[in-house]
Structure 1
Amino acid sequence: MTRLNLGYGTNGLTDLRLPDALALLADLGYDGVGLTLDHMHLDPLGPELAARTKETAVLLGRHGLSVAVETGGRYVLDPRRKHGPSLVDPEPEGRAARTDLLVTAVRIAADLGATAVHCFSGNTPPGTDPATAWRRLADSLTPVLAAAEAAGVPLAVEPEPGHLLATLDDFHHLRALLGDPEPLGLTLDIGHCQCLEERTPAACVRDAGPWLRHVQIEDMRRGVHDHLPFGEGEIDFPPVLEALAATGYQGLTVVELPRHSHAGPELARSSMEFLRPWSGKAEAC
């Protein structure tokens, strides 16, 4: 049974400078980091991106951390519209801006030696029929998948509550629309499984195994999309983590607590304590 490679998301450490966040995670025993590209941590739209990416690669190497690139920054493209514009935006210019951001993320990921690039679809705009929204999503992702294939970095799409692509079944619908391209994989958020999937989180993990390229983890309650620290929700974690280890998944399993940055260092510590029995580093100790 594969031991898990544990990471923590920088979107839960936004009150720390990136070098301080990476040092903290290394000291706590994490294997890697889910690096959200945003204005506070490796801004993908800022100046001298190549130089800053190189500096980040050096820091990751110094601390022995692997990395997955995440693209869920709330206002990285539009300072007034959360997660806007999206891949299914009504305006072609908006969709193109999101596509360009993801292509940039793929290039950053290649330079960092990342395990995957994460993304999600976005909400279906009001008045948009499903067929149109799915066509926009497929068309918007096509250049990103081409970049991912060229870079040798998988693109891991996340089912997100409330979005066009919200469930595992939706992920498979996208795969079919795109012709099941090799670079297309799945980000599975364990909390989201508890929130809205009909199957248990452990069953979702088993079903998703062949397509897993990135995993996010936190506690959650049924029907409530609120990322919670471990023990504050309803998930029975041992069966979930055992199922995940049994898949042979070797990417990062990243703690995702984006609304808890005010307590980020303490939650990074307590999350590692909770997850340590399944950690690859724990096995080596």
Structure 2
Amino acid sequence: MSVRLGYGTNGLTDLRLDDALSLLADLGYEGVGLTLDHMHLDPMAPELAARTGKVARRLGELGLGVTVETGARYVLDPRRKHGPTLLDADPDARARRTELLVTAVRVAADLGAHAVHCFSGITPEGTDGDIAWKRLGESLAPVLDAAERAGVPLAIEPEPGHLLATLADFHRLREQLGDPELLGLTLDIGHCQCLEPASPVECVRAAAPWLRHVQIEDMRRGVHEHLPFGDGEIDFPPVLEALSATGYQGLTVVELPRHSHAGPEQARRSIEFLRTVLPDRAADPAKGV
């Protein structure tokens, strides 16, 4: 198996979506992590189905695969980053986040995406942990129902500082919900370096049965900062060898959301770096990297 590389549109927010997609195809990426946000495919604006159809056609023309990502900072609340969450005390607020994720599942189905990414959110101050986990499960239930109807996996991401922060937390949720077939995992390689007790290589191997989406960037231990390749501490060749060995067939998406000011250059540098750590691609340029 070989690793299929993508780049996240949350690192290309200064580009029009069509320009971003064309750039990635020209650079040799095989897919895109498409964040639903106001500057690209806005999930809150009118005529979403028609706009989604246009994007689907363009992805097809360019030969790009896609994962739908839902980490837009202010798409629901212009004053509160990532708000509202699935854990908010206000049930109406939680319902707004659930509705966004259900919309994302519909968009993903229309795009032919291989997964929908999401995360839990930060536990509100003063909220008991058991209550937060109960809210998370209840909030995700309609999303999982939509995912089952659409046949699109939901890939929840362990995020530093969130209720669901680690692989162990993912398994707690999975078991709490009765191990639903459509609940999978987004594994962020940098997050593994940042806070998991196991190494990134060990995390990849442990996560293999549930992998539905992978994000990749460099990072340092104990510091949640997405870094360009080479600026952190991760030894990438064994990580990518382990990922390839799992048989995972989805996208591995470069995640540099704070580097949009230099997005095109970072996209180019990232794929050039990845050529050096994927020897099969370096030896055969026809494979797309």
Shared fold by TM > 0.5?
yes
Alpha-carbon distance in structure 1 between the residues aligned to 2:145 and 2:274: 36
Alpha-carbon distance in structure 2 between the residues aligned to 1:280 and 1:264: 26
Say if 2:113 is the partner of 1:78: no
Residue in 1 aligned with 2:173? 174
**Superposed displacement of residue 278, structure 1:** 2.9
Residues 14, 40 of structure 1: 8 Å contact kept: yes
Deviations 1:119-164 (A, max 9, x none): 0000000000110000000000000000001100000000000000
Residues 237, 278 of structure 2: 8 Å contact kept: no
Residue in 2 aligned with 1:241? 240
Go from structure 1 to structure 2 and tell me whether the alpha carbon gap of 1:19 and 1:281 turns closer, same or farther (over 3 Å shift).
Answer: farther
| Cα RMSD (Å) | 1.1
Go from structure 1 to structure 2 and tell me whether the alpha carbon gap of 1:134 and 1:28 turns closer, same or farther (over 3 Å shift).
Answer: same
Deviations 1:39-90 (A, max 9, x none): 0010000011011001100110111000000000000000000000000111
Alpha-carbon distance in structure 2 between the residues aligned to 1:188 and 1:239: 16
Residue in 2 aligned with 1:221? 220
Runs of 4+ aligned structure 1 residues displaced above 4 Å come to: 279-284
Look up the equivalent residue of 1:264 and give its one-letter code: G
How does 1:49-198 map onto structure 2 within 5 Å?
49-198=48-197
Residues 195, 221 of structure 1: 8 Å contact kept: yes
Q: What SS class does the counterpart of residue 34 from structure 1 fall into?
A: strand
**Superposed displacement of residue 258, structure 1:** 0.1
**Superposed displacement of residue 284, structure 1:** 6.2
Residues 86, 136 of structure 2: 8 Å contact kept: yes
Residue in 1 aligned with 2:8? 9
Residues 157, 188 of structure 2: 8 Å contact kept: yes
Deviations 1:157-210 (A, max 9, x none): 000000000000000000010000000000000000000000000100000000
Alpha-carbon distance in structure 2 between the residues aligned to 1:26 and 1:137: 37
TM-score by length of 1: 0.98
Alpha-carbon distance in structure 1 between the residues aligned to 2:279 and 2:139: 36
Alpha-carbon distance in structure 1 between the residues aligned to 2:285 and 2:262: 29
Residue in 1 aligned with 2:278? 278
**Superposed displacement of residue 279, structure 1:** 8.4
Deviations 1:216-245 (A, max 9, x none): 000000110000000000111111111101
Alpha-carbon distance in structure 2 between the residues aligned to 1:281 and 1:63: 19
Residues 157, 187 of structure 2: 8 Å contact kept: yes
Alpha-carbon distance in structure 1 between the residues aligned to 2:280 and 2:204: 19
Alpha-carbon distance in structure 1 between the residues aligned to 2:231 and 2:285: 29
Alpha-carbon distance in structure 1 between the residues aligned to 2:155 and 2:134: 19
Q: What SS class does the counterpart of residue 75 from structure 1 fall into?
A: coil
Q: How many residues were matched structurally?
A: 284
Identify unmatched segments of 5+ residues in structure 1: none
Q: What SS class does the counterpart of residue 73 from structure 1 fall into?
A: coil
Q: What SS class does the counterpart of residue 109 from structure 1 fall into?
A: helix
Identify unmatched segments of 5+ residues in structure 2: none
**Superposed displacement of residue 275, structure 1:** 1.3
Look up the equivalent residue of 2:75 and give its one-letter code: V
Residues 109, 152 of structure 2: 8 Å contact kept: yes
Residues 114, 153 of structure 1: 8 Å contact kept: yes
Look up the equivalent residue of 1:68 and give its one-letter code: T
Residues 214, 253 of structure 1: 8 Å contact kept: yes
Residues 29, 281 of structure 1: 8 Å contact kept: no
